Amino acid sequence: MKSQQQERYQRMLDYEREQAEKELVENAHFITAFQEHCKSIGITLTNQHFSYITPIGIVATYPNLVAALNEELKPDKDRLYDFMQLKSVYGNTLMPGVMSSEGGKFMLLAHPYFRRGFHEGNNFAPDFLEKFWRLKLPSVQSALALDPNRVRVNMNARAYMEKDTWMGAAFNSDIASIPDGLVQLRPSPELDEWDIKLVFANTHMLDVRWSTDKKGVIKTFEAEEFKTIDVSINIDGVDYFPARYIHAEFELNNGNFRHLDGAIHLYTYEEYTERIEADLRYNAKNDWQIKAKPVKLFRIDGVFNLEVWAELISHFFTGDPLIHEYFEGKYPEHLQDWLDAKKQQNL
């Protein structure tokens, strides 16, 4: 006999299925138009290739669909698309991360690893894409990863928005004076598994490293964030453990950054368990080399200042208070208040 909780869950699933069927029927004209467009370029899509996802809309899924639809746009070796070229062709932005050509039959989507929990069925995590979209730096070239296998096909102006209170951290340090070396940050040791899931977005640790080249010209920043072991991505039947990674270069002679890129590093179980017991110097100190699978998500090249760098990094590591602790020497105020209250309860 089913419990009340099981019955409620089943009712929720039934409701979601009914809503999806309704949306597919109501948007049948968009689906048909897109099928005809795909057929004209040699791609046959059946109704099984279409689904309704609440945070996104009507989605068509097909291997390497974006590449087939966009022969005029060529990604680089890292599978990133030049952002200015992207906007010149698909400049009709419904929201940051969702864009189409004027009068087009589909909308391009930013890569699913920009979404909450790295899951393709969730909304975009706040607010990195919005900050990236709003950059107005004439001396900068930027590039972005797209969802390679999916596009949105309902061309109305409906969008599902999620907002939270995540704010970027300030960083007022003199970059040149920061000593080379590595810092490793972890959540407060008094927190239990549920606390880490709730207020640290399942973050296990954050590694930060600065290094200067032999000529004393370029100072390099790296940061890699590991989630707890229950956060994984299944690709072709293999579980990978995602780590967000940032790389940046600072020119000491002019006091500006010249490069910033972000990626997801996908670790196998064996690599993950080795890496979380070490730091960013693991490969330099061990014979067995960890070679995580990188998925580049964005790149910026040109001249930009410390404020742009700190804001983009803060929002790339959205939900992780450890980046605030590194930049500001403390947790966000609301989290510190919560931690203080928890300590009082445990006294």
What global pTM score does this model have?
Answer: 0.88
DSSP 179: P
Q: Which of 13-27, 47-61, 233-247 has the lowest mean pLDDT?
A: 13-27
| pLDDT digit string, tens, across residues 191-235 | 888 888 888 889 999 999 999 999 999 999 999 999 999 999 999
Q: Do the Cβ atoms of 152 and 95 come closer than 8 Å? A: no
% pLDDT > 90, the chain: 62
CB atoms within 10 A of CB 345: 7
Encoded amino acid at 193, one letter: E
Q: How far apart are CA 93 and CA 22, in angstroms?
A: 26
pLDDT band at 50 (very low <50, low <70, confident <90, very high): very high
| Residue 203 exposed, middle or buried by CB count within 10 Å (0-12, 13-18, 19+) | buried
